[in-house]
Amino acid sequence: MDANLQQFKAEFFKALAHPMRIRILEVLAEGEQNVNELQTILGSEGSAVSQQLAVLRAKNLVNSVKDGTTVVYSLRDPLLKDLLAVARQIFNNHLIESISLLKDIQKQ
């Protein structure tokens, strides 16, 4: 069981290992979007966005629902929003530590 859980976690974090995929998840944490909306928000080409969405779909991180000719994406699990918030807090903690170190160095 532990090996299966560790493998799941490794695959899960691999899916998060791209800045555009993280940004897509952050945008979807705020609400459903279609590809065109994501392209506009991300300022990126459609092929790049579609490629990253395919990875997120393959790893079951996002849902896709066809609405006519449009595909609408959403987070599959709302806890992803919490995970992204925790990652931001960890980043902020590292940033605070770095700033503190720089201030100490400047005092010397």
Tens digit of each residue's pLDDT, the chain (108 residues): 689 999 999 999 999 999 999 999 999 999 999 999 999 999 998 799 999 999 999 999 999 999 899 999 999 999 999 999 999 999 888 888 778 777 778 887
Q: At what angle do helices 46-58 and 19-29 cross, to 10 degrees?
A: 80
Residue 107: inside a domain: no
The full length of the chain comes to 108
Residue 92: inside a domain: no
Sheet holding 62-67, edge to edge: 33-34, 70-75, 62-67
74's CB contacts (< 8 A; 6+ apart) are 28, 31, 32, 62, 63, 65
State which H helix or E strand residue 68 sits in.
Answer: none
Domain total for the chain? 1
* Predicted local distance difference test score (pLDDT) of residue 35: 94
**In which domain, by residue range, is 68 found?**
2-77
> Residue 42 is part of a domain; what is its CATH number?
1.10.10.10
Residue 43: inside a domain: yes
Residue 22: inside a domain: yes
